[in-house]
Amino acid sequence: MQTYQLHFHPDFPPRAITRVEAQIIGFDDHLVRIRWRVDGSGSLVVPPYSGRGRQDELWRTTCFELFLRPEGGQEYVEINLSPSGRWAAYQFSGYRDGMSNRPASREPEIGLREGSTFAIFDAAIPRDVLPQLPAAMAITAILEEEGGTKSYWAMVHPQAKPDFHDPACFAATLAAPQGS
């Protein structure tokens, strides 16, 4: 599968993080599996495990996100995933408009592994949370480091301020898995 290099927004540089990449590591009729790798993660703030379940405003600290917009449409889905075990999924009718909770048949599976100089965040998202495919895709991350430094990572940053909802951020495509 393809690896996507994420770039920090120039107005919000990281303190110690040197690289972030993401990869779709598996996709079948039941789950899409995505992995983020964060290099230079020694000062990464990892929210403590707080149990599984939905939670809003996960973006206020370290959070990994996936945005998907079906081809030819204005509607899109935002999925937020936290190392705390919490997650959120939203449906939008247009750019930052008409937000509602997106249903899920089950909760995403979330896990974080930390090495001495890197962290790996894995998520397995139920297929029914995804919109119709193929879909334009944005893979993003908000990374908080000790001391309150926050950096905003995306494949593309089209605005003067970080805005992952901007249509230009949807810089890749997620196709249905072969055989579906």
Mean pLDDT of the chain: 95
- Decide if 170 contacts 137 (C-beta within 8 A): yes
Q: Which pLDDT score, from 0 to 100, does residue 180 have?
A: 56
Cα–Cα distance measured from residue 140 to residue 112, given in angstroms and rounded to the nearest whole number: 16
What global pTM score does this model have? 0.96
CATH number for the region 3-174 comes to 2.60.40.1190
**Nearest by Cα to 17 from 111, 123, 112, 117:** 117
3-state SS, residue 119? strand
pLDDT for 103-119, tens place per residue? 999 999 999 999 989 99
Please report which helix (H) or strand (E) contains residue 66, including its range.
Answer: strand 63-70
Give the pLDDT of residue 146: 97
Can you tell me the distance from the alpha carbon of 9 to that of 156, in angstroms, rounded to the nearest whole number? 9
Q: Which stretches of the chain score pLDDT less than 50?
A: none
Contact 150, 161 (CB under 8 A): no
pLDDT of residue 125: 97
